[in-house]
Each structure stands twice: as structure tokens, then as C-alpha cells.
Amino acid sequence: MERRRASCRLLERLTLVLLLLNRVVGRTVSVGSQWNWKLLLNNTGVVAMHMAVTHHNNVVIFDQTEAGPSEYRLRHQRKGKKCRTRDDSSCYAHSVEYNVLKNRVRALHLETDTWCSSGSFLSNGSLLQTGGNGEGSRRIRYYRPCADNRCDWTEQKKQLSVRRWYASSLYLPRENGVIVVGGRSVFSYEFVPKSSGSSGPYNLPLLHRTYERNSKGNNLYPILHLSSDGHLFIFANRDSILFDYKRHKIVKKFPTIPGNGGRSYPSTGSSVILPLDHSDNFTKVEVMVCGGAAHGSYVAAQQHRYLTGLRSCGRMVITGNHHQWRMENMPGPRLMSDMLILPTGDVLIINGAKRGCAGWNSASTPALEPYLYRPKQSVGRRFQVLKQTKISRMYHSSAVLLPDGRILVAGGNPNNRYILRGVAHPTELRLQALVPDYMSNRFDHLRPKNVTVVYPQHSTGVKNGQTFDISFRLASEPRNLSVVAYAPPFTTHSLSMNQRMLRLECLSSERGNRGLVEANVVAPPSIYVAPPGFYMLTVVNGGIPSRSSWVKII
């Protein structure tokens, strides 16, 4: 039996040299731009205003409950009464669970309105969902995913302190709960469950300062990111702070992002934390904000004038002592887009519009072409325009990364009811997958397969800083091998709440017979780097990712 054992760090350096040499002689692997669209379902029944991938490889999709009848009619109401009328909204599903493997949906039941609400996954994989409109504006809901198709939404008797409509939430690992920030005409934050001794809500001056009365706020759905030092990055409109939520104090005030326009709802840009890396012990945290609406877009849209959106993106390192937005332009204007981090470390910008702002019939000119952003390329070479879709994904659309590597795209409804024809942008119920080029069969010789996670003995997960083993099969010699862990987000209104990707340290690897590779990997060192919960673990070889397996950090 042939066996080779080497440090993964040394292997990375050697393969990087080989890749550079290959580039010189023209033999490097080029993924290219042949991304493809695939129609999965003609009718999900429910608009994907909100969407999230669970660790059981299912996707929770839900809409508002007050939009009238959906296109998924129920036989019975939740309490068992037989449905006889076609006008009763309670006789229609407003949430479904999509089974990725079987490519079908089943109905779920929501009791109160989730219109423009927020969500975060907890350490046990449950989705904690907060707020909404009307009777749902102070509600707290849970969805605990299961494998037997019997799980459904539950609502707590305890409620939020105030109405949270267009609010954001972020998981807090120390408390195993969430912070909920903002909302329409709300300038505060609170904790769920309430922290010891807290009364809440707590005033947040940033929301007062960034509020624009004539633009429906322009600071709703604030952008939230958890920094690796445990502080919160909070961005609203064009301004941002680093916030110590335990002491209720501002740690830093960052420069205003350049550009004449807003980035928060209804201007609605999007944001990610770029992948965190073990090479600097996860200490460099860099935020990226892209797109948004031009100044005055909300007022203009009420007059049926749709101003061209923003093209600019800004990157800023929020750790350290020097903070400056470094700006660059996308290939075109864009707002209401989703930003997803891919296993390669690239960022996908997808969905949205080119003109107007968010809201009912407040935008025009769909952004049909996704953009691929490659952070490590030089400025001017980072953006790549991908194959366009034929389906508009405007207001109330969303996208998520699946464990199999595809991007699931759904939703779109700028109308306040389900209107399927006779309007400029009808309600969109088709479900699509965007299939990356690197999933093509022509890269199978490079693709790691059958990735298996081996937990330490007598454990149901991996602790922060602990080593664990993975195994996979590889048909060829490793090329620039890396292991990444991805926290799947809750997506709505161009926000991917709690999304983060971590490039893990690989201590050693051993290659055996029939291409079996066994590697020893280190879990991230802190709960603030990797909050406890379920992550998609992916092995990337020569730029070609494996299918993901789930790993639980405890």
C-alpha cells in the first residue's frame, strides 16, 4: 500500500508553486464562465420572501400570511376544520419545506404574519424567527428541522418588547440567543431570550441618526455581522459602528461609505463578511457592501420614476486600527440583490433590479445577470458576468447555497397579492437552480468525493479549537487543497443573516489506496469566530469543491 504523509501547510505551498508554474505554461485549471440555469419546479405554491437551508438538507420557504390566498391550497385548516371556501387565507399554505433530494414541497403552517421578519439559526439547528407585521410583529417562532416530515412552526407565548417589522437578527453564541435590531419606526434592539437582568428594549442612536423621514427610513433591515472579537458590526443607511452589546457601548465609529445614495431598506444594498482564514488566526475581518439605490429613489418611485441604482461596492477591514472604505464598481447598477459566499471563497451577487428601490412596484429593469466577485484578484479583474436567467427576481426574492453546490433561487413578488398575469412583474413561483461551472463532470478528476466527518470519541460534535478527522476520495494528486466551513444564512430582503465562511487549518493528511485521503483539521478557536451550530464542510481541490457534509460545532 502506497502511503504519503505531509503537512497540509507544506502541501498548500508546494501546490501553489505548481499552479503558478502551470499558469506560465498554460496548463492551469480554468473554471470559466459556463454557469447554467435549471428549472426545478414550476410552482412552489408560496413566494420565497424568506428562505433558509437546514442541516437535514431541506429548505424552509415562507411568505407573508396577509397577501391573501397563495397557490398552495390546503384541505384543512390547522385546527382540523375542512376548507370549503376559496377566499379564506387560512386555507392556503404560506410556508413550505422544499425537499432537495425529492424535488418537492410540503405545506407548513404559520399562525401569524411573517411579512418582512428576521431569523437566525441556534446551536441545535433550530431557526429562531422574530417579528413581522400586524399580529405577527411581536411574535417569536421556532422551526426545528427534522428527518420524518413531521416538524412544523411553533409560536411562543412570550413576545418581543416592541413591534419588529423590517428588523434584523444576529445569533449571539455566548447567550445561545439572538439580538434583534431596528424595525419600522423603532430605534432600538433587544435580546431573545432576554438576557439575565435585562428589561429591554435598548436605544440605539445610530438608527436615529441614519433615519430619513421622506425615504421610509432608509435604515431598515440594518446589516449585522459578528466580528471575531465578539463585537457587532452594525450598518444602517451609509454609516456603521462596532458595538459592544454586552456593555451597550459603541467601540468604534467607522467612516461613512462613499456614494450619493442609501444602502439599507428601501434602498436595499447587500453585504457579506469575506471568508475568515486560519492563516491570521481569523483576526482579519473584512466587510463588503454592494449596491443600493440613488438618493431620492423612494420619492421618485412613488411618481413612477425609477432612478438608476448604485454600481459601487465598498470593502473595509473592521478589525485593527485603520479603517477605510475601498471602493470599486460592479459591471452594472444593482439593488435588492443577494450576496452568497461560495466554497471557493468567491462571492455571488444575484437577483434584484437595476433601477428604483424596494417596495411594492417600486423598481424596474430586472438584474438578470449574476456577478461573480473574486476577492483575491486585482482591482479591475474581480468581477465576472455570468449567464443570465430569463426569470425576473425582483422584490421579495431570495437565494441560498445548497450542500450539493448549487444555488437555489426563488421568489419575486412586487405586488401586494398573488398576481400571476397582467402586470409588469407578476408573482413568481418558479424554483430554479444556478449550477456553477465547477460542478461540471469535466472537473470530476479534481473533485473530492464522499467527504466524511469523524467526531472525537464519545462526542456529538467538535469543540472550538479541537482537532477532528475528515476523509474523502481523490482521483488525482492534491492541488492547493483547503477545507472550509460555511454557516448557512437566513435570507430575506437581500440580507443573508449570520452567513460566514471559515478556511480551516489542516495539520496533516495521509493518502492511501484507491485515492482515500485522511486529514486532521482544527476547528476555529473561538465561539465568536465560529458560533456553535451546524456548518457545511467542504473540501476544495484546485478550485473544485466537493459536495458538502454537515459538521456540528459545539
Q: What's the rounded mean pLDDT across residues 375-398?
A: 96
What pLDDT sits at residue 477? Answer: 86
| Residue whose C-alpha cell reads 455571488 in the numeric block | 348
- pLDDT beyond 70 at 58: yes
Please report the beta strands in 80-136, taking only residues with DSSP state E, as ranges in sequence order: 95-99, 104-108, 118-121, 127-130
> How many whole angstroms separate alpha carbon 421 and alpha carbon 442?
41
What pLDDT sits at residue 4? Answer: 40
User: At 511, is the secondary structure helix, strand, or coil?
Assistant: strand
> pLDDT tens digits, residue range 120-171?
999 999 999 999 999 999 999 999 999 998 999 999 999 999 999 999 999 9
Please report the beta strands in 425-498, taking only residues with DSSP state E, as ranges in sequence order: 431-435, 449-454, 467-473, 482-487, 490-492, 495-497
Split at pLDDT 50, 70, 90, the class of 458 is confident
- pLDDT beyond 60 at 431: yes
Q: Cell numbers of 87, please?
A: 377566499
Question: Is the peptide bond prior to 375 cis by the omega test (within 30 degrees of 0)?
Answer: no
Q: Which amino acid, 366?
A: P
- pLDDT beyond 90 at 549: yes
Within 13 Å and on the Cβ side, how many CA atoms surround 485? 27
Q: What's the rounded mean pLDDT across residues 357-369?
A: 98
Q: Where are the domains of the chain?
A: 4-32+440-553, 36-80+87-439
The CATH superfamily label for domain 4-32+440-553 reads Immunoglobulins (2.60.40.10)
The bridge status of strand 270-273 relative to strand 286-290 is antiparallel
What pLDDT sits at residue 196? Answer: 62
- 260 backbone dihedrals φ, ψ, rounded to 5°: -95, 80
- pLDDT beyond 80 at 418: yes
Closest C-alpha among 189, 261, 263 to residue 219: 263
Contact 200, 192 (CB under 8 A): no
Instruction: Note the helical H segments in 240-303.
Output: 297-302
What pLDDT sits at residue 8? Answer: 53
Q: Which amino acid, 174?
A: R
Which residues fall within 8 angstroms of residue 551, CB to CB, at 6 or more apart?
453, 461, 462, 468, 485, 534, 535, 537
Split at pLDDT 50, 70, 90, the class of 98 is very high
| Residue whose C-alpha cell reads 499558469 in the numeric block | 23
> How many whole angstroms separate alpha carbon 223 and alpha carbon 333?
20
- pLDDT beyond 80 at 195: no
- Max CA separation in the chain (angstroms): 74
What pLDDT sits at residue 479? Answer: 86
Which helix or strand (DSSP H or E) is residue 10 part of?
A: helix 8-25
Which residues fall within 8 angstroms of residue 452, CB to CB, at 6 or more apart?
470, 471, 472, 549
Contact 143, 153 (CB under 8 A): yes
**Number of residues assigned to the chain:** 554
Q: What is the CATH number of domain 36-80+87-439?
A: 2.130.10.80
- 234 backbone dihedrals φ, ψ, rounded to 5°: -125, 125
What pLDDT sits at residue 315? Answer: 98
Q: Which amino acid, 136?
A: G
Instruction: Note the helical H segments in 274-406.
Output: 297-302
DSSP secondary structure code for residue 237 in this structure: T
* Model pTM score: 0.93
- pLDDT beyond 60 at 358: yes
Instruction: Note the helical H segments in 210-367.
Output: 297-302
Output the CA angle 458-462-468, nearest 5 degrees: 85
- 437 backbone dihedrals φ, ψ, rounded to 5°: -60, -35
Split at pLDDT 50, 70, 90, the class of 27 is very low
What pLDDT sits at residue 85? Answer: 74
Give the CA distances from residue 262 to residues 211, 218, 347, in Å, rounded to whole numbers and listed in that order. Answer: 11, 7, 21
Q: Cell numbers of 363, please?
A: 423598481
Closest C-alpha among 147, 70, 58, 64 to residue 105: 58
Q: What's the rounded mean pLDDT across residues 478-499?
A: 96
What pLDDT sits at residue 197? Answer: 64
Closest C-alpha among 219, 221, 187, 218 to residue 204: 187
> How many whole angstroms separate alpha carbon 237 and alpha carbon 401?
27
> How many whole angstroms separate alpha carbon 200 and alpha carbon 217?
22
Which helix or strand (DSSP H or E) is residue 347 part of?
A: strand 347-350
Contact 207, 222 (CB under 8 A): yes
Q: What's the rounded mean pLDDT across residues 398-422?
A: 97
311 phi-psi bin (left φ>0, alpha ψ -120 to 50, beta other)? alpha
> How many whole angstroms separate alpha carbon 464 and alpha carbon 483?
16
What pLDDT sits at residue 427? Answer: 98
Q: Cell numbers of 100, please?
A: 432537495
- Helix, strand, coil shares of the chain as percentages rounded to 5? 10, 40, 55
Q: Cell numbers of 118, please?
A: 428576521
Q: Cell numbers of 474, please?
A: 481523490
User: At 279, is the secondary structure helix, strand, or coil?
Assistant: helix
Burial level of 387, CB count in 10 A (0-12/13-18/19+)? middle
Q: What's the rounded mean pLDDT across residues 377-382?
A: 95
- Domains 4-32+440-553 and 36-80+87-439 are alike in CATH topology: no
Both ends of the chain: CA-CA distance in Å? 36
Q: Cell numbers of 513, please?
A: 489506496
Q: Cell numbers of 95, please?
A: 410556508
- pLDDT beyond 50 at 31: no
Split at pLDDT 50, 70, 90, the class of 28 is very low
